[in-house]
Amino acid sequence: MKLSHKEIDGVIVLEPKGKIMGGPDATLLHDMLHDFIDQNKKKVVIDLSKVEWMNSTGLGILISGLTTLRNNGGELKLACVTEKIESLLTITKLITVFENYDTVEDAVKSFK
Amino acid sequence: MGTGFLIAIIYLTSAGVLFLTAGIIFKENVRAGNNRVVAAMLFFAGLAPFCVALDKTVLADIENLSLSITNIFYVWELFFPALLLFSVIFPEPLSFYKKRRRLFQLAFIPHLFHILLVVFLNDPDKVISLLNFDSSTPVIGPIVGFLETILKLLTALMGFLYIFHTRFFSLINLSYVILAMYFLKLGYKNITNPALKLQVKIVIWGIAIAVGLYVVSSIIPTILSFKFPAGLREIIVLTALVVGPGSIAWAIIKYRFMDIGLLARQSLVYTITTAIVVGGYLLVITELSAMFSSTLGIQSRLLDIIVVVVLLLFFQPLYNQVDDFVRRIFIKSRSDYRHLMEEFSRQLVTVFDIDRLAVILSENLNREMFIERTHFAVFDEKSSCFKLLGETRAYEIENEFLNSLAQKQKPIFTSEIAELSHEGYLGGRLVELGSYLLVPLMDKGRLVGIISLSPKVAGFRYTYEDISLLSVIANQVVVALNNAALYVKSLEKQRLEEELEVARKIQMALLPRNLPIHPQYDFAAFNHPSRQVGGDYYDFINLADGTLGIVIADVSGKGVPAALLMARVQAILQTQEKRGLPIAEMLSQLNEFLVKSSSPDRYVTMFYGELDPPRGKFCFSNAGHNHPFILDVAGNIRYLDIGGLILGAFSGSRYDTAVAELRKDEILVMYTDGISEAMNLQEVEFGEARIIDAVKEARSQSAQYICAHIIKSVKKYAEGAEEIDDMTLVVVKRK
């Protein structure tokens, strides 16, 4: 997984690319989120349009990210969820936990 | 004639060895003042046997040789002040010498005066006879006569002095020797390098024995005015000559004393070999011709020539034999560089620890090459920095430093690299540590490490031989570094394998050994852990009210952590047997427990249902697990998706329950994502649809058959592709 990020209207937009799996991916996202929390940036959108696939550990990373942000008074939202990941979210019923939006703009707007 | 010859040859050989050594040492490193002194001492020492040899051979035949010519030979006695000077600078200048350098040079003055005296005033009568001027001239006559008388008196006085002088001067030589021995002992004590200590020990003992013998045979008899029998004296002097130069030659050839190169050592060997062979031959020839002439009574030059020709025929093979012998004694010694290489290679093969490698490297180099300190820097993949072994901190490398090393690819002197003093960087640090020579360790054009060497002890220099040896060693070290890295990898792999084996065992122990048996139902289950061992789990629990709990679950993650989490889940589920909680309540409790006891990125997807066998009622709740389904006789599918969130992720999750009915000939299929997500070579997943198809194909068969058919289909589909996850499948058919 490659992970880049940008900031739109005070909202951090993370753009992971490739497959989200366990191991180094987890620490990468975890450390990045903690950096943002330290900078008091707690509104985060993950743009999943470029994520091909996610295994159970990858899903764990998203859950952990959401928990971390919520525990610090922030929020994690998803944008551009692909069909494959959406079905994964549906099966695990996580679709009820994560707010997800069709576009990054919508997700960013939802924070206002 | 014979022994005289032999003795002359011993004298000449000793002189040869000493002159050659002096020459080599002088030429090897002229800049170092120490070498000049050592060379001077050896030269004067060589002069003594050389003069005696001359005296015994060439000059022996000349009648009425002027005494003053042979007295020039006394120049050799400059050996004593040279020895004194040598003793204070060898192997390292003593501290008090550094301050009073000039003072020690004064040691030569008595000897210069002595030589003047013995060369020009050794025969006062002769000088006096030369002073017989014609004093008959008037006016000037009396003055000349007066002067003549004065000069004659002075000369006579000098002559008188001369008699005492030889005795007195022997005292000076004796005191020089004693002082020199004392200084050498002081210097010896300061040496720490074991190899150098060995060299110096041999040399000091050699000199001490030689000089001691000379003192016994010449100086003491002169002082005390007595004489050894000529034969005994000759033997003592000869022993001194063999021991003194011999010890120096031995130390040079065998222990690389004074850091003499291989070529020079070979020439020393050559000198000794030649002396032995030529001496032996001359002896044999003269003895033979003498024997022939006495027994046969023939006195013919022709015979001599024949003998010489016959012997010359044997010369080459014999020479080779002797050369071989001398070489075996000297050159193939344990401290030869070849030995160092062998020793080094032997040790490196068995070393897989980089720290140990560094220790072996420094020990060997320091000992064999007389290097004061060796440092070893290794590239660290993780930090992309260099680590100096023995230090914890990592250093970045300066670009110009890296370029210099990578371009040269061979040992390079620190002085050849400009700008090395960047603080906190590798080059700067090495300079701080006193680096003098750097040996880059290159692996496929990449710099993987550096051996940093300080200057050698006692100011020895790095020879061409050293540099080429270091290049060879560098290659060996690179191989050893690679071996060490491979070893670490294989260890890690082994550890991982062992861990997976543990996880596999835990998982196997948790899965039920037997399937339930019921007249109305047919049960089948399949579990195949992946190579990495995931956290799949299924179970059947006989509940108190006669219902049958059926569970299928998938713990996120792999290996031992997943297996342990699964074990916890199983333990809690087993209590359900006794407690009989409502399903929703049981799952909520399980969720809370998992939220508390594991990190949020670890979770469990679980489907749990309780089957009431007589009625076929199946009360269930699905906590984020792949939807199980029921295939009815008409071929329709009913999904069992009611439930709630995955377990262990969020606190406060609520679970809904639903009731499904399993009628006659209906098939309930539960699976984990290892089956639905099994991929073919085109990376397309097997998917739910294909599972349903497989079930339909085998619907008329038993649960076992259906189960096996699904697995067969999956395996066929994913043939050749990489197996990613555990596969678990549970099939229940109502008969």
**Total structural domains within chain B:** 4
Q: Are residues B75 and B121 in the same domain?
A: yes
- The total of other beta-carbon atoms located within 10 Å of residue B321's CB is 12
Token pair 């005033």: residue = B121
Q: How would you class B716 by CB atoms within 10 Å of its CB: exposed for 0-12, middle for 13-18, buried for 19 or more?
A: exposed
- State the nearest Cα–Cα gap between A94 and chain B, in angstroms: 6
Distance (Å) of CA A26 to CA A29, B245, B250: 6, 75, 68
Quick one: B613 and B583 in the same domain? yes
Same domain as B564, residue B469: no
What pLDDT is recorded for position B181?
85
Give A103 to chain B, closest Cα distance, Å: 25
B493 located within any domain: no
pLDDT band at A1 (very low <50, low <70, confident <90, very high): confident
What is the DSSP annotation of B372-384?
S-EEEEEEETTTT
Mean pLDDT of B242-249: 76
Same domain, B324 and B248: no
Chain A residues with beta carbon closer than 8 angstroms to that of B673? 56
CB contact at 8 A, B237 and B219: no
Which structure tokens are listed for B558?
A: 């792999």
Residue B334, pLDDT score: 40
CA-wise closest residue to B412 among B429, B424, B430, B396? B430
Q: Supply angle C-alpha A71, A76, A81, rounded to 5.
A: 150
| B504 is a domain residue | no
Q: What is the pLDDT of residue B586?
A: 92
Q: Quick one: B100 and B88 in the same domain? A: yes
Query: For the segment A39-90, what is each residue's pLDDT rounded down to a tens digit?
Result: 888 899 999 988 877 877 788 888 888 888 888 888 999 999 988 888 889 8
Asked if residue B192 lies in contact with residue B370, where contact means CB atoms within 8 angstroms, the answer is no
Tell if the CB–CB gap between A97 and B624 is shorter than 8 Å. no
What percentage of chain B has pLDDT greater than the value 90? 18
Confidence (pTM): 0.53
pLDDT tens-digit series, residues B86-136: 888 776 777 777 777 777 778 888 777 777 776 666 665 666 666 665 555
The residues, ordered by sequence, that sit 6+ positions from A59 with a Cβ below 8 Å of its Cβ are A88, A92, A94, B556, B603
Which of A56, A68, A71 is the best residue to mutate to test the B interface, defined by the most B CB atoms within 10 Å of its own CB? A56
* Same domain, residue pair B94 and B236: yes
| Candidate from A61, A68, A94 with C-beta closest to B646 | A94
Boundary (domain end) residue, out of B225, B244, B260: B260
Name the E strands within B261-357.
Answer: none
DSSP H/E element including B248: helix B230-255
* Residue B330 pLDDT class (50, 70, 90 cuts): low
**Distance (Å) from the C-alpha of residue B569 to the closest C-alpha of chain A?**
17
Beta bridge partners of B638: B630
What chain A residue is nearest to B599 in terms of C-alpha separation? A64
Q: Give the pLDDT confidence score for residue A54 in this predicted structure.
A: 81
Domain that residue B434 falls in: 337-487
Other Cβ atoms closer than 10 A to B331: 15
Which pLDDT score, from 0 to 100, does residue B706 have? 95
Q: Is the pLDDT of residue B418 over 70?
A: no
Phi/psi zone of residue B635: left (φ > 0), alpha (ψ -120 to 50 degrees), beta? Answer: left
Is B201 in the same domain as B246?
A: yes
Give contacts of B649 with chain A, Cβ < 8 Å: 63, 67, 94, 97
Q: Output DSSP code: residue B71.
A: H
Q: Which residues of B touch A56 (CB under 8 A)?
A: 554, 556-557, 603, 605, 673
Is B650 close to A56, i.e. CB distance below 8 A? no
What's the CATH code, domain A2-109? Answer: 3.30.750.24
Separation CA B214–CA B180 (nearest Å):
14
* A91 contact residues in B (CB cutoff 8 A): 605, 624-627
B494 occurs within a structural domain: no
The better pLDDT of the pair A85, B166 is held by A85
Whether B526 and B648 share a structural domain: yes
B639 falls in which pLDDT band (50, 70, 90)? Answer: very high
pLDDT > 90? residue B728 = yes
- Which residues are CB-contacts of B367 (< 8 A; sequence separation ≥ 6)? B193, B194, B195
Q: 3-state SS of B179-235?
A: HHHHHHHHHHHCCCCHHHHHHHHHHHHHHHHHHHHHHHHHHHHHHHCCCCCHHHHHH
Q: Across residues B37-55, what is the average pLDDT?
A: 81
Same domain, yes or no: B253 and B386: no
Rounded CA separation B159/B148 (Å):
16
Q: Are B136 and B44 in contact (CB under 8 A)?
A: no
- Put simply, the answer to whether A92 touches B605 (Cβ < 8 Å) is yes
DSSP helix/strand/coil, A99: strand
Cβ within 8 Å, pair B599-A64: yes
| Contact assessment for residue B49 and residue B11, using Cβ atoms and an 8 Å cutoff | yes
CA distance B603 to chain A (A): 7
Distance of residue B197 Cα from the nearest chain A Cα, in angstroms:
56
The structure tokens listed for B131 are: 């002073």
Q: Is the ipTM of this complex over 0.90?
A: no
> Does one domain contain both B609 and B723?
yes
Q: Chain A residues with CB inside 8 Å of B601's CB? A: 26, 57, 60-61, 63-64
As a dihedral over the C-alpha atoms of residue B225, residue B230, residue B231, residue B232, rounded to 10 degrees, the angle is 10
- Is 80 exceeded by the pLDDT of residue B276? no
What is the pLDDT at residue B141? Answer: 67
How many C-alpha atoms does A70 have within 13 Å on its Cβ side? Answer: 15
B345 and B254, same structural domain? no
Question: Minimal Cα distance from A60: which residue of B?
Answer: B601
Q: Is the pLDDT of residue B662 over 80?
A: yes
Answer yes or no: are the C-beta atoms of B548 and B614 closer than 8 Å.
no
Q: Do residue B557 and residue A59 have CB atoms under 8 angstroms apart?
A: no
Query: pLDDT tens digits for B547-599?
Result: 999 999 998 888 888 888 888 888 888 887 777 789 999 999 999 999 988 87
Number of other residues whose CB lies within 10 A of the CB of residue B56: 15
Q: Which two tokens stand for residue B477?
A: 């070290």
CATH no. for residue B436?
A: 3.30.450.40
Cis status, amide bond into A24, omega within 30 of 0: no
3-class DSSP state of B535: strand
For residue B370, is pLDDT > 90? no
Instruction: Report if residue B328 sits inside a domain.
Output: yes
Structural domain includes residue B540: yes
- Facing A97 at nearest CB: one of B557, B599, B650: B650
Are B576 and B678 part of one and the same domain? yes
Q: Position B297: which residue type?
A: G
Contact state of A63 with B599 under an 8 Å Cβ cutoff: no
CA atoms within 13 A on the CB side of B637: 15
Residue in B601, B646, B673 nearest the CB of A26: B601
Contact state of A91 with B554 under an 8 Å Cβ cutoff? no
d(CA B451, CA B374): 7
Is B8 domain-assigned?
A: yes
Closest-approach residue (CA) in chain B for A56: B556
Give tens-digit pLDDT for B331-355. 544 445 667 777 777 777 777 788 8
Q: How far is the CA of B486 from the CAs of A34, B72, B294, B355, B448, in angstroms?
A: 36, 72, 80, 15, 15
Q: Which of A26, A68, A93 sits opposite B645 (nearest CB)?
A: A93
CB atoms A92 and B645 under 8 Å: yes
Residue A89 with chain B: CB contacts under 8 Å: none
A54–chain B Cβ distance below 8 A for any pair? no
Q: Letter for the amino acid at B674?
A: G
* Count of beta carbons in the 10 Å neighbourhood of residue B61: 7
In chain B, what residues touch A93 (CB-CB under 8 Å)? 623-624, 643-646
Phi first, then psi, for residue B671 (nearest 5°) are -150, 165
Closest CB from A60, A68, A93 relative to B624: A93
Q: What mean pLDDT comes out for the span B449-468? A: 79
Contact A60 B601 (CB under 8 A): yes
- Paired strand residues for A15: A4
What residue ranges do the domains of chain A occupy? 2-109
Which tops the pLDDT comparison, B693 or B318? Answer: B693
- Residue B419 above 70 pLDDT? no
**Confidence band for B447, pLDDT divided at 50, 70 and 90:** confident
Cβ B30 vs Cβ B38: under 8 Å: no
Q: Would you place residue B235 in the very low, low, confident or very high pLDDT band (cuts 50, 70, 90)? A: confident
Residue B621 falls within a domain, yes or no?
Answer: yes
Dist CA B252 CA B259 (whole Å): 8
Last residue of a domain, one of B436, B471, B487: B487
Residue B501, in any domain of the structure? no
Which of B223, B174, B234 is closest to B52 using CA atoms? B234
Closest by Cα among A53, A34, A44 to A6: A44
Q: Given CB atoms, is A33 within the 8 Å cutoff of chain B?
A: no
Q: What is the structure's pLDDT at B335?
A: 47
Which of A62-76, B14-28, B197-211, B247-261 is predicted least confidently?
Answer: B247-261
Sign of CA dihedral B189, B190, B193, B198: negative
pLDDT mean over B69-74: 67
Instruction: Read off the pLDDT band of B163 (50, 70, 90).
Output: low
In which region does residue B258 sit, left (phi positive, over 0), alpha (psi from -120 to 50) or beta (all else)? left
Q: Read off the tokens for B71.
A: 């007295």
* Average model confidence (pLDDT) across chain B: 80
What pLDDT sits at residue B343? 75
Average pLDDT over residues B697-722: 92
Residue B257, token pair as written in the block: 């004393």
Q: Tell me which residue has tokens 């050894």.
A: B228
The residue of chain B nearest to residue A30, with distances taken between CA atoms, is B601
